[in-house]
């Protein structure tokens, strides 16, 4: 019986001891045999997960639990008034909004895609807003706040808060 021998060089690295190359000759890799991943030895577990048949202990997951706040439904009424920003066509409108300190600004997502409202300095951060989703934030003090949509970070907006 002839067996095909395949030479596999396995690179193994350890962060604790430095790094070295281990050249190993793994014999008898018959056609159809699975090559196994070799992970770095300084992590506690294997990244990823096992597929079917490799994880007999994997039990069925419970059904999905969708929390309404995370599906982005939001109140049905869209905001009206000067302290409102619409998210429409992957853009914040108006792009720059000026309000007085103490004002509450309300963003409404009019797109089908989800968006977020995330301040660069961490002053405010919405959850994902689904279609029709609404987020409000009250600005207590003056300042200039640049924000983006963290899902589509090419979307930029600014709120200027005057004293």
Partner 1 sequence: MTEDRDPMTMSRRQLIRHSAWFGAAVGLAVVGGEVISHVAGSATATLTRPTLRFAQVSDSHIGFTGPANADVTGSFTRAVDQINGLGYTPDFVIHTGDLTHLATPGQFDQVKQMLSGLETPHVFTVPGEHDSVDDAGQKYRKVFGAGTRGDGWYSFGIAGVHVIALVNTLNMTKLGHLGQDQLDFVKNDVAPLSSDTPIIVFSHIPLFAMYPDWGWGTDDSVQALSYLRRFASVTCLNGHVHQVFSKTEGNVTFFSATTTAYPLPHPGDGPAPKPLTLPAGKLHDALGIREVTYTKGQQALALKERTLP
Of positions 17, 28, 47, 80, contacts partner 1 by CB under 8 A: 47
- Cα 26 from Cα 12, distance rounded (Å): 14
Residue 35 or residue 82: which is nearer to partner 1 going by CB? 35
CB of 41 to partner 1, least distance (A): 11
Q: Does 49 bind partner 1 (CB under 8 A)?
A: yes
What are the tokens at 73?
């439904």
Residue 4 or residue 100: which is nearer to partner 1 going by CB? 4
86's CB contacts (< 8 A; 6+ apart) are 92, 93, 107, 108, 110
- Binding-residue pattern over the window 129 to 148 for partner 1, x denoting contact by CB under 8 A: -xx----------------x
Query: Phi and psi dihedrals of 80, rounded to 5?
Result: -125, 155
Residue 32 or residue 76: which is nearer to partner 1 going by CB? 32
Quick check: 106 and 79 in contact, CB under 8 A?
A: yes
- Cα 122 from Cα 110, distance rounded (Å): 24
- Cα 115 from Cα 109, distance rounded (Å): 7
**DSSP 8-state secondary structure symbol assigned to residue 128:** -
Binding site for partner 1 (CB under 8 A): 1-2, 4, 6, 8-13, 15, 19-21, 31-40, 43-55, 58, 60-62, 64-67, 70-72, 89-91, 111-114, 116, 120, 125-128, 130-131, 148, 150-154, 156
């Amino acid at each position: 019986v002839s067996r095909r021998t395949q030479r596999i060089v396995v690179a193994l690295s350890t962060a604790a001891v430095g790094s070295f190359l281990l050249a190993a000759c793994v014999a008898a890799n018959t056609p159809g045999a699975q090559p196994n991943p070799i992970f770095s030895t300084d992590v506690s577990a294997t990244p990823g997960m096992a597929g079917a048949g490799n994880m007999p202990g994997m039990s069925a997951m419970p059904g999905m639990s969708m929390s309404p706040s995370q599906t982005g439904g939001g109140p049905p009424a869209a905001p009206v008034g000067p302290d409102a920003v619409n998210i429409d066509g992957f853009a914040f409108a108006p792009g720059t909004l000026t309000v007085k300190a103490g004002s509450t600004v309300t963003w409404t997502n009019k797109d089908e895609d989800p968006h977020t409202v995330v301040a660069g300095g961490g002053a405010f951060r919405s959850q994902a807003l689904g279609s029709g989703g609404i987020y409000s934030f009250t600005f207590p003090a003056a300042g200039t706040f640049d924000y983006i949509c963290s899902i589509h970070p090419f979307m930029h907006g600014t709120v200027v808060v005057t004293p």
